[in-house]
Amino acid sequence: MIRTHEAGGLRAADAGTTVTLAGWVARRRDHGGVIFVDLRDASGVVQVVFREGAPAAAAHALRNEFCVLVTGRVDPRPPGNENPELPTGEVEVNATGLTILSEAAPLPLPVDDHIEAGDDVRLRYRYLDLRRTGPARAIKLRAGANRIARRVLDERGFHEIETPTLTRSTPEGARDFLVPVRLQPGTWYALPQSPQLFKQLLMVAGLERYYQIARCYRDEDFRADRQPEFTQLDIEMSFVTQDDVIELGEAVVGALWEDLAGYRIPTPIPRITWHEAMSRYGSDKPDLRYGVELTDLSQYFAGTAFRVFAQAIDAGGYVGAVVMPGGATQSRKELDGWQDWAKARGARGLAYVVLDAETGEARGPVARNLSEAHLAGLADAVGAKPGDAVFFAASADRREAQELLGAARIEIARRAGLVDPDAWAFCWVVDAPMFERTDDGEWTAVHHPFTSPNGEWIDRFEEAPDQALAYAYDIVCNGNEIGGGSIRIHRADVQRRVFDTLGISPEEADEKFGFLLEAFKYGPPPHGGIALGWDRICMLLAGAESIREVIAFPKTRGGFDPLTGAPTPITAAQRTEAGVDAKPKTPVEVPPGTSGVAVRVEHSG
């Protein structure tokens, strides 16, 4: 090393030591006769003083972010000049030597912890952005998360195993990223949406305990918590029950929060069934930091003359409500704003009544349509007090109405300030449905087609696909799904019946993932696993608003990388060589399960 010490580590005890430091000029304060330079390296900042001689003369030329080598003696600061804001504030380095290792051009992005720049500039100059304390801390925190995960899993006998990223379509149901194959012109690899099939093959292979910090690729639109390439902590285990996987998930998540957030998660983490989550919170990933639960009023409003409600009830649907505490004080404009809010998410509107703060009398446009009796009992039925507002949703489709109320619940909590930003609330959502209807009335897998029905349904899920439950579980933190998994099907007969329900013919199944079914002919063990959404978890631990903060080189919403300029067009020569436009040769002979085009898997969730 060309330095002897780290800048951020110097303390009063180091006084008298001659040190050589290497780092960047974070700030300079040039007083003419004396020059102060804050020298920053990865460990922190220390003040360097230039007073006289050649180093002082050279120090006048220093500018922000010059990379320098400084030699000098660590001295206690003169009395009264200590800086309690800095860990190194009791000392300073009196420079006797200065070498400029490299100069810095005027900065397009100030390396300054006080300034929040736009994403555009930050990503274009991400290497400068990451010199700042906050962004660097988020990336280092992620390294810590990786370390903790490896420690916990290593202690439990797991093997870290890499799987291919040049492969074929996996059954997650998103769009694939495709890579042309020069050696087989006209054929394409797909980048894996997850290592799902490979990890199941590793269980067939008898490895028993697998994990991987795996990069996954899905060609879908961006969100604050979604990038096209993202990372999962991917885990699979043999000979386990759902409880075993959940216990392991709690061990990993518990270690992460304890070490990185200083928070001990009460265990066991509460479990809530999927149906209960939907009926109480209108979401399959409920935020349990606050109450504001939904009320089912389908019975209560039976026989109502209000057409909107009556139609939903008659169609076997759902009428429900959610209460906004103190919502009666909202202005007409704010209440109208809720209608726009509801319309923005595809609903016709959001019916409401407000309860007079003095009398408790129900008022509002909808109140006129409801009977005296229904209005009189409403407050008790939904648990509202005078001064509250009650929002209603009604639909022939129960889930649609519940999800609208669930979204309203989140918005209510936000607007009414009910969210404790320092709170952590975890839960498992279990007993997810196996199947749901597609738009064409077919069945599709809610999780993926290898998810096992639970013990109650495994022999009879065909009887009521809409009610059948799976051994599938999601872990939720503050309303974010941070992981999910399932017990997989290991019996050929069950797999065949599931495919049958999904309308996947044996030929189709063979074409899409015959290699897995082939493997399952040879004594596959019962197995299951979980995948933790690593970017989201790190985002939550870092207290960030976007997963971009915990990704070293993220992309913008348009899939563009402002730093490298990717993606780029290719030349005609590259196009020809890659075989982008080549027609695939008709395969003469194909091993089982490897034929067919890499079409998207239609019947999976």
Partner RNA sequence: GGUCCUGUGGAGCAGUUGGAGUGCUCGCCGCCCUGUCAAGGCGGAGGUCGCGGGUUCAAGUCCCGUCAGGACCGCCA
For the segment 453-472, give every residue that binds RNA (CB under 7 A). 472
Window 184-213: residues binding RNA (CB under 7 A): 193-194
The answer to the question of residue 34 lying near RNA (CB under 7 A) is: yes
Least separation in angstroms between residue 563's CB and RNA is 12
Q: Which two tokens stand for residue 431?
A: 């007993």
404 backbone dihedrals φ, ψ, rounded to 5°: -65, -45
Among 86, 130, 251, 418, binds RNA (CB under 7 A): 86
Among 161, 427, 519, 531, binds RNA (CB under 7 A): 531
Eight-state DSSP code of residue 453: B
Window 435-454: residues binding RNA (CB under 7 A): 446-447
Among 411, 474, 508, 535, binds RNA (CB under 7 A): 474
Among 557, 584, 592, 597, binds RNA (CB under 7 A): 557
**Sign (positive/negative) of CA torsion 194, 198, 203, 206?**
negative
Window 225-254: residues binding RNA (CB under 7 A): 225-226
Number of residues that bind RNA (CB under 7 A): 75
Q: Which two tokens stand for residue 83?
A: 């800086």
Q: 270 exposed, middle or buried (CB, 10 Å; 0-12, 13-18, 19+)? A: exposed
Least separation in angstroms between residue 356's CB and RNA is 32
Least separation in angstroms between residue 270's CB and RNA is 17
Please choose, out of 78-86, 129-137, 322-330, 590-598, the segment that lies near RNA by the rule CB under 7 A.
78-86
Please choose, out of 9-17, 27-35, 151-159, 386-394, the segment that lies near RNA by the rule CB under 7 A.
27-35
Least separation in angstroms between residue 63's CB and RNA is 5
Among 224, 416, 563, 598, binds RNA (CB under 7 A): 224
Q: 383 exposed, middle or buried (CB, 10 Å; 0-12, 13-18, 19+)? A: middle
Query: Can you tell me whether residue 530 is helix, strand or coil?
Result: strand
Please choose, out of 3-11, 45-53, 255-263, 516-524, the segment that lies near RNA by the rule CB under 7 A.
45-53
Among 4, 83, 133, 329, binds RNA (CB under 7 A): 83
The answer to the question of residue 133 lying near RNA (CB under 7 A) is: no
Helix boundaries (H) for 87-234 = 119-124, 126-129, 133-155, 196-204
Q: Nearer to RNA by C-beta: 120 or 314?
A: 120
**Sign (positive/negative) of CA torsion 192, 193, 195, 201?**
negative
The answer to the question of residue 30 lying near RNA (CB under 7 A) is: yes
Q: Nearer to RNA by C-beta: 313 or 469?
A: 469
Please choose, out of 242-250, 379-387, 390-398, 558-566, the segment that lies near RNA by the rule CB under 7 A.
558-566
Among 1, 2, 16, 31, binds RNA (CB under 7 A): 31
Span between the terminal Cα atoms of the chain, in Å: 53
Contact 272, 428 (CB under 8 A): yes
The answer to the question of residue 218 lying near RNA (CB under 7 A) is: yes
The answer to the question of residue 16 lying near RNA (CB under 7 A) is: no
Q: Which two tokens stand for residue 539?
A: 């985002």
Least separation in angstroms between residue 443's CB and RNA is 15
Among 17, 64, 165, 298, binds RNA (CB under 7 A): 64
Please choose, out of 13-21, 23-31, 299-307, 582-590, the segment that lies near RNA by the rule CB under 7 A.
23-31
The answer to the question of residue 85 lying near RNA (CB under 7 A) is: yes
Q: Nearer to RNA by C-beta: 241 or 480?
A: 480
Alpha-carbon span 28 to 48, nearest angstrom: 9
**What residue type is assigned to position 432 of the chain?**
A
Q: Nearer to RNA by C-beta: 328 or 410?
A: 410
Among 276, 481, 500, 511, binds RNA (CB under 7 A): 481
Window 389-408: residues binding RNA (CB under 7 A): 407
Least separation in angstroms between residue 477's CB and RNA is 14
Least separation in angstroms between residue 568's CB and RNA is 14
Eight-state DSSP code of residue 397: S
Q: Which two tokens stand for residue 450?
A: 């290898």
Positions of E strands within 218-336: 229-238, 271-273, 294-296, 318-324
Query: Can you tell me whether residue 259 is helix, strand or coil?
Result: helix
Contact 123, 169 (CB under 8 A): no
Alpha-carbon span 481 to 410, nearest angstrom: 15
Among 20, 146, 165, 556, binds RNA (CB under 7 A): 556
The answer to the question of residue 36 lying near RNA (CB under 7 A) is: yes
The answer to the question of residue 47 lying near RNA (CB under 7 A) is: yes
Alpha-carbon distances of 430 from 276, 478, 533, rounded to whole Å: 10, 17, 17
**What residue type is assigned to position 97 of the chain?**
G
- DSSP per-residue string spanning 457-517: TTTTGGG-TTT-BBSEEEEEETTEEEEEEEEBP--HHHHHHHHHHTT--HHHHHHHHHHHH
Long-range interactions of 239-244: CB distance < 8 A, separation 24+: 239/208, 239/525, 239/526, 239/527, 240/487, 240/526, 240/527, 240/528, 241/487, 241/528, 242/430, 242/471, 242/473, 242/487, 242/528, 244/528
Q: Nearer to RNA by C-beta: 47 or 71?
A: 47
Q: For tokens 């096209």, what's the residue?
A: 228
Window 89-128: residues binding RNA (CB under 7 A): 89, 92, 106-110, 112, 114-121
Window 275-294: residues binding RNA (CB under 7 A): 284-285
Among 4, 11, 29, 182, binds RNA (CB under 7 A): 29
Q: Nearer to RNA by C-beta: 40 or 374?
A: 40
Least separation in angstroms between residue 362's CB and RNA is 30
Alpha-carbon span 147 to 491, nearest angstrom: 36
Please choose, out of 81-89, 148-156, 245-253, 461-469, the segment that lies near RNA by the rule CB under 7 A.
81-89
